[in-house]
Amino acid sequence: MKRIIGLSVLAFLGSSAFANTDMQTQIDELTKKIIKMEKKQKRTTKTLTAVKKHDGRDNIKWSIDFRTAYDYLDYKLKNGDGISNSSLLTNRLWLGMVSAPTSKLSFKGQIAVYNTWGGNNLPATDPFQNVNWRASSKADDIIMKIRQAYFVYKITNGDFPISFSAGRRAAVDGFLANHREGLKNPGSPLAHITNMEVDGAMVRIGNALGLEGSYVKFVFGRSYTNINQPSFSGTPYTAVNATDKNVDFFVIPMSIYNNGQINLMAQYTAIFNFMGTDSAGTPTTGAGMKHMAALSMQVDGLNEDIDFLDNSILFASIAATKTDPKNSYKMLGSSSSHRGYSLWAGFIFPDLLTEEGKIGLEYNYGSKYWAPMTWAEDTMSSSKIATRGSAYEAYWNLPLEKGHFSTQIRYTYMNYDYKSNIEEFWADPTLQASDAKNSQDLRVYFRYTY
């Protein structure tokens, strides 16, 4: 528009006050130069845009999430004894990476270090705890571990977009658990029944249910492998124990409805060749199947006319697990099938003292045979969600430098009616004298993100 106006002015001047042949020639030459310069500028802009796109896709974008935490732990055993740790200090570092060479293909990865101050290689207490379900989710040493590494390929767009991905995922801090972890966005899948690091492949179908914000995922993965023959043996990568089985799982997480205020999600999980004990009481895989299901709902903004309620969140979730042992095997100490149930509710609201601070109150209940896969739960005194009994939790999330530096004060109290699920998850849930009757964890952390 500016060029047109400028040329119009020159043309007017040339045709009136300065109407002579020499002046008109100079005007014509000047006009040609302006047009030539504009074309050159457009080519330069186009080249710069292409370079930016190329560089953006050629590079890996890194992110940092570093947290230092203090925990006070206290346990009361059924026999009356007490065990505590008044000074547990930990560091946790996540280095995230993202790349997108094309609009259809992307990669996401994360390497992690999670250690106790002065700690060194905390030993596993049972033969199945060495697997990678919680490799970077429990405090251990200063060795870097792969927390997640997977690609996402968009197969189709349109009304029902389909994508495929495979690799290692940190399936932790999922829907509803993100609040207690001070995370704005939840991970996947539903935290009520799944909170562990896994390897698998997934197909995601958008708008699958025809409702706003809906999608369905189909996930296949392996949480334990029977390959334990060393690679330099005569028969590398094979099992030496015929009774040892691969533990595979099939998961269907789905968003039923999400309009930005109401978010309703569900999930079903089937685990094949799950852990149990054989006729001799020896822990083993291949004991039977395990089923899990959850239905979770979150409401953001309870009343738009009241600021306090408009900035509050209310959520509730119900879940169930079922064991199905086969032949002479036992699961949870029984050769019969058992169902477990759980309720989880929470209320998050402004602290009324600061601009961005939030206070959260949560309650969990689990029955005797409640047994979710939540071994990566970030509560130092075991999995709060897996509590067989009642758990009470309160936390204050406070941003110090918005988007980059925050702190949290959190208190968790768990009263066990039955054995903690985090220990021998194949064992009879009945409390023994040496088992914890209740536990509490007071945590304070400072977290840097960039």
pLDDT in tens, 229-260: 666 777 787 776 666 788 999 999 999 999 99
User: What is the rounded distance in angstroms from the CA atom of residue 117 to the CA atom of residue 142?
Assistant: 10
Judgement on whether residues 52 and 149 belong to the same structural domain of the protein: no
Q: State the sign of the Cα–Cα–Cα–Cα dihedral 174, 341, 440, 331.
A: negative
Judgement on whether residues 301 and 290 belong to the same structural domain of the protein: yes
Q: State the sign of the Cα–Cα–Cα–Cα dihedral 193, 198, 202, 205.
A: positive
Q: How far is CA 123 from CA 89, 102, 117, 284, in A?
A: 18, 43, 16, 20
CA atoms within 13 A on the CB side of 276: 29
Identify the pLDDT of residue 268.
Answer: 98
Strand 61-77 to 187-190 pairing: unpaired
| Containing structural domain, residue 258 | 61-449
Judgement on whether residues 239 and 126 belong to the same structural domain of the protein: yes
Judgement on whether residues 42 and 160 belong to the same structural domain of the protein: no
> 133-181 pLDDT, tens per residue?
556 666 766 788 899 999 999 999 888 999 999 999 888 899 999 999 9
> 200-231 pLDDT, tens per residue?
999 999 998 999 999 999 999 998 887 776 66
**Burial (CB count within 10 angstroms: exposed 0-12, middle 13-18, buried 19+), residue 65:** middle
Angle, helices 2-15 vs 21-58, to 10°: value is 170
Q: Which of 41, 59, 77 is a domain's end point?
A: 59
Dig out the tokens for 162 from the structure.
């389909």
The domain total for the chain is 2
Residue 188, by phi and psi: left (phi above 0), alpha (psi -120 to 50) or beta? beta
Dig out the tokens for 137 from the structure.
């989710």
Q: Which of 14, 40, 59 is a domain's end point?
A: 59
Residue 315 pLDDT more than 80?
Answer: yes
Mean of per-residue pLDDT scores for the chain: 86
Identify the pLDDT of residue 132.
Answer: 60
Judgement on whether residues 407 and 315 belong to the same structural domain of the protein: yes
Contacts of 85 (CB under 8 A, 6+ apart): 71, 72, 73
Judgement on whether residues 432 and 358 belong to the same structural domain of the protein: yes
User: What is the rounded distance in angstroms from the CA atom of residue 230 to the CA atom of residue 249?
Assistant: 25
Judgement on whether residues 134 and 167 belong to the same structural domain of the protein: yes
- CATH number reported for the structural domain that contains residue 359 in this entry: 2.40.160.10
SS3 15: helix
> 180-191 pLDDT, tens per residue?
999 988 988 899
Cβ distance 222 to 246 under 8 Å? yes
pLDDT band at residue 9 using 50, 70 and 90 as cut-offs: very low
pTM score > 0.95 for this model?
A: no
Cβ distance 184 to 124 under 8 Å? no
Lowest mean pLDDT among 127-131, 287-291, 349-353, 408-412: 127-131
Dig out the tokens for 384 from the structure.
């709060």
Residue 210, by phi and psi: left (phi above 0), alpha (psi -120 to 50) or beta? left
Judgement on whether residues 153 and 260 belong to the same structural domain of the protein: yes
Judgement on whether residues 71 and 53 belong to the same structural domain of the protein: no
Judgement on whether residues 243 and 333 belong to the same structural domain of the protein: yes
Judgement on whether residues 70 and 53 belong to the same structural domain of the protein: no
Q: Which of 59, 84, 107 is a domain's end point?
A: 59
Judgement on whether residues 238 and 338 belong to the same structural domain of the protein: yes
